[in-house]
Every structure is written in C-alpha cells, then in structure tokens.
Structure 1
Amino acid sequence: MDAEGTGRGRFEGRIALVTGAGSGIGAAVARGLDAEGAKAVVLADIDGPAAASVAKEVTSGHAVALDVADAGQVDAAVDEVVRAHGRLDVVVHAAGVDDPVAKRWLAEALVADRPPEVTARLGDGAWQRVLRINLDGTFHVLRAALRAMMPNRSGSVVTVSSSAAFDALVGYPHYAASKAGAQALSQSVAKEAIAFGVRVNTVAPGPTETAMTAKNPEVMRKGFTDPRVRPFATPEEIAAIALFLASDEAANLVGAVLLANGGRFTA
C-alpha cells in the first residue's frame, strides 16, 4: 500500500520474475513486489519447495523450479510467463552460489595465521560450477528477459552482483571472477537494451544476512565485522535497492551499479 493508503504501488499491475526467490534477497524482492502492487510475481529457484514456501506469503505469487545454469529452463520459464500474462515487465536476478569448500580452506588459513592456498587446489569442477551459475546464469536470464521485453519496448532488469566484483577477495578467485564478469555483462547489455526501452542495472551487496552467509565459518564472519561500518545488511535492505532500480523512479539509471556494502570501501 502506498503512502496515501490507496493500495497502489510502484509496480501496480506489473508482471515480474525473480530468480533465487526461495530465500534471502530474492525472497525479499518477491515480497516487496507483491506489497507494491505487482499483478503477478513468479518466484523461481533451483530449490522448488523453498520457492513454493515463499510464494505462500506472496498474494500474487507463483513458484517454479529453475536452474539458471540451464538455458533451456530459463527460456521455458520466461516463455511461460509471457504465455500466461502476455508480457514481462520486471526481472530481478538474485540467483547465485558461493563455494563452501573454498571458504573452509580460507577459514583454516585464518585460524592457522598463514596465507590461504586456494587457487592451486581449485578443481575444474568447482571453478566451472561457480562460473556456470553466477556468470552463465546471468547471461541466460538477461537474454531471455530481453527477448520478452524488447518487442514491447519496455521493461526493467536488475542483476545482483557483489562487492567482491570490486574488492576481489583473497583466495576466492572463481567467485570474484564470476561476479565481476556478471557485472560487466550487465553493463554491456544495458547499453544495448536501452535503445529498445529496456533498462538493466545492478546492485552489488557487501556482507548480507542470507542463508548463504549463515553457513560461513565463524572466523570469516568475524573478519567481515568492523565496528567502524554498518553491520551485515538485511535481505530487505538490499531488496529495497533492487526495487528502486526496477521502478520508474530510476528511469534515468541505465547500466548503473549501486555498491551497497555499508561503507567497507567505496568504488
């Protein structure tokens, strides 16, 4: 409901798709879209039951199981949204992964007070998994979104990057590369898409209280804690930035990257 209590919001009547909507930032975005008047919100997540659980809280919600690394699945999901609703107005791409094994290696190095050794130990499978989901998945979602939006010459896409795209973490090369790549990809696509009335922008969070970060080893959580800056963001705080970027309020933002890391560094 808006400030005047009319029940209208920034996304009144719009059709939206949110990836990674089964938890964290994606779930918060889906709830926000619903609260601000979206006609339909499709909650997509590789964990279908998790997406379905969040969808129960979303009046206009519908859940689908979706692996963004699978181009065919992404295309089919977007095609189904267009078939069901006639168009697609908003996409927020929050799906992504980290590497718990590499994080364990980093934690062990911190506890032992020695430099981390990750890159030399990193297998092809671990590298490819992170790049396939974080980078290839972003391409798949952007491509499918543009195919749906360009004929209508309108639409907004928001991708979720990471502050690691700016301040590459020591011993986390695949994650940093995947997020930096996805960010550059989004900015390149933004320059192309705006000629067809479609805006693409990015939010780059710092440490955020999600299910992913909850699994971080305690020594790493302490490493991200600094009394001189804001504490870990909430998913709702990051979702608010994504919703702003997706809304008409950000009509003049194209290819923007909003760094939201609580003051840990600036870029």
Structure 2
Amino acid sequence: MGDEGAEHGGFTGRVVLVTGAGSGIGAAVARGLAARGAEAVVLADVDGPAAESVAKGLGAGRAVTLDVTDAGQVDRVFDEVLRRHGRLDVVVHAAGVDDPTVKQWLADAVLAGRPPEVTARLDDEAWRRVMRVNLDGTFHVLRAALRAMRPNGSGAVVTFGSSAAFDALTGYPHYVAAKAGVHALSQSVAKEAIAFGVRVNTVAPGPTETGMAAHTPAVLREGFADPRVRPYATPEEIADVALFLASDAAANLVGAVLLANGGRFTA
C-alpha cells in the first residue's frame, strides 16, 4: 500500500479501531490507517501479544485484547476508546475464523476421489464456534460502533464477509452461512445507521494469503489456483478495499458488499 492519503480520502486526525489486527488483513488495515494519518489506531485481537507486536511498529498504535464473541468485552473496549479519545471515527471489523478440521475433511475427500461428507459429521460446537466469532461477533461490533458513533452523527464501519457466501462452497456450511449472515446483517444495519450519519459497508474477499490460508491443505489451495484469474490476494490488497470503504472517497457507498476475489466469479 502506498502512503498517499489522498488516494483514499485520508484519515488525518481520526480515531480508528481495527479488530483482528494481530495478523493478516486486520494488521494490514491498521498499518494502512496509521500511514494515512490516523490520530489513534486501536488494534484489537483475541491474541493480545500479536496485536501488541503490530502496534509497536505504529506510532499511533495501541493494542487491546478482545474476544469479539464476548459482548461485554466488546462494549468495554469501545467505552474505553470513547473515554480516552472522546470519539470514534472508523471501525474495521476484520476478526474471523474458519474451520481447519473441516478443511482437512474436504482435502481427504478430494485425495480419495469421493464426495465430501461434512454436514452429517458437523457437531454443534463446531457450528457454534464459527457462528459465534463470524456472525455474533459482527453483531456485537456493529452494535457497539453505532452506540459510539451516533452521538457525533458521523462514522464509517467496514465488516468482512466472504466471496464464499455467493459461490457457496461444497462442504463448508457453517462458514458460508455465517458469512452470508454478515452480508445481510451489515446491509440491514447500514440502512438504519445512515440516518444517523454512520456508513456501514462490507468487503467480501476471495482467497487471500493470511495465517488461515497458510493452514489450508495443499490440495485445496491447488483447487483455488486458476491461470485465468489473479492468484491469492495479499492482505494489503484486501486492506486497500477496506480503507477505501472507510474513507470519505466512498461517501456514497452505503450497504455495499464489494467482491474482491480476483475475477473468480461475479455476483
């Protein structure tokens, strides 16, 4: 990512919070916001030391430990930001999880040349874990963001869905359902929030080189390789989409879900 703040409208003087900021796309977003002039960048992650490591490289960065599945924790972090800075201008909610166990089941099926069998084997806890982090966590963050931003009559929130919610992946029902829920939730909230000057939009990435992708079995990664489209995105490329949505340059975008999947398909 370049340092040209004007490209994305700039974030000079703004107070921003990024979840999932300890690695991958969230870390890239935090770095981009700092490079574009943010006054304060709060890096939140369930892995506090990882967030602290990223924050050390940012003059405006400060790390907090945050489990987005815990509504009380989310509210406390947002309240603390308001106490310290008096306002909150931008929230980018990049925290999320996938399911490595199910990915291995899918890989095993491919290698054995048989259809995957996931839904009948998926237990309640695996379903709830993906839903708690990806969908419940998004609700907790959206709710807290609106509570923080409404009094000032302005703000921008960016959530993260997935291209998988459009091109539903075989044998990945909990992840697909959670991300489709993120899209619908964000769009519903966007239509409500804009009346109070708060914009909500969503990025729907395709395959991206993150820590989660690094644990994807090789046979599944090969399945995403296609010489007709772009390769896996870098975290910085996806972060640039989020930074655009969070900036004044996207002032007329409300409830948008932007596909960033390298041309694998269009919705």
| TM band (smaller chain) | over 0.9
**What is the match of residue 112 of structure 2?**
112
Report the Cα offset of residue 167 of structure 1.
Answer: 0.8
Q: Could you list the per-position Cα deviations for residues 11-70 of structure 1 after superposition, in whole angstroms to 9, with x for gaps in the alignment?
A: 000000000000000000000000000000000000000000000111100000100000
Counterpart in the other structure of 1:209: 209
Structure 1 match to 2:161: 161
- Maintained 8 Å contact 2:45/2:51: yes
Q: Specify the alignment match of 1:242 in structure 2.
A: 242
Kept in 2: contact 1:90–1:155 (CA 8 A) = yes
The letter of the residue matching 1:107 is A
CA contact (8 A) 1:2 1:9 kept: no
1:71 match: 71
The one-letter amino acid paired with 1:153 is G
Matched, 1:199 2:189: no
Deviation readout 1:203-225 (Å, 9 max, x if unpaired):
10000000000000000000011
On the 8 A contact 1:127/1:174 being kept in 2, the answer is yes
1:11-90 aligned at under 5 Å gives the runs: 11-90=11-90
| 1:144 lines up with 2:144 in the alignment | yes
Distance in 2, matches of 1:3 and 1:173, equals: 39
Which ranges in structure 2 are unaligned for 5 or more consecutive residues?
A: none
Aligned-residue offset at 1:3: 7.0
- Deviation string for 1:140-187 (max 9, x for gaps)? 000000000001000000001110111110000000000000110000
Q: Identity over the aligned pairs, expressed in percent?
A: 77
Amino acid at match of 1:77: V
- 1:97 paired to 2:97: yes
- Structure 1 residue runs of 5 or longer lacking an equivalent are none
Query: Which amino acid counterpart does residue 58 of structure 2 have in structure 1?
Result: V
- Following superposition, the deviation at residue 2 of structure 1 comes to 3.5
Amino acid at match of 2:150: M
TM-score (norm 2): 0.97
One-letter amino acid matched to 1:19: T
Amino acid across the alignment from 2:27: A
Q: State the alpha-carbon separation in 2 of the partners of residues 129 and 32 from structure 1.
A: 30
Q: Which residue pairs with 1:184 in the alignment?
A: 184
Moved over 2 A (4+): 1-4
Secondary structure of 1:119 counterpart: coil
Provide the C-alpha distance between the structure 2 equivalents of 1:44 and 1:242, rounded to a whole number of angstroms: 16
CA distance in 2, matches of 1:93, 1:184: 15
Which amino acid in structure 2 is aligned with residue 195 of structure 1? A
The residue matched to 2:103 in structure 1 has which SS? Answer: helix
Q: Secondary structure at the match of 2:42?
A: strand
Counterpart Cα distance in 2 of 1:9 and 1:248: 5
Number of positions where the alignment pairs a residue of Structure 1 with one of Structure 2 = 264
1:224 corresponds in structure 2 to 224
Instruction: Report the CA distance between 1:9 and its aligned residue.
Output: 6.6
Instruction: Give SS of 2:106's match.
Output: helix
For 1:59 and 1:125, the matched residues in 2 are separated by: 40
Q: What is the TM-score normalised by the length of structure 1?
A: 0.97
User: Counterparts of 2:110 and 2:70 in 1: how far apart (Å)?
Assistant: 36
AA matched with 1:175: Y
Counterpart CA distance in 2 for 1:264 and 1:146 is: 34
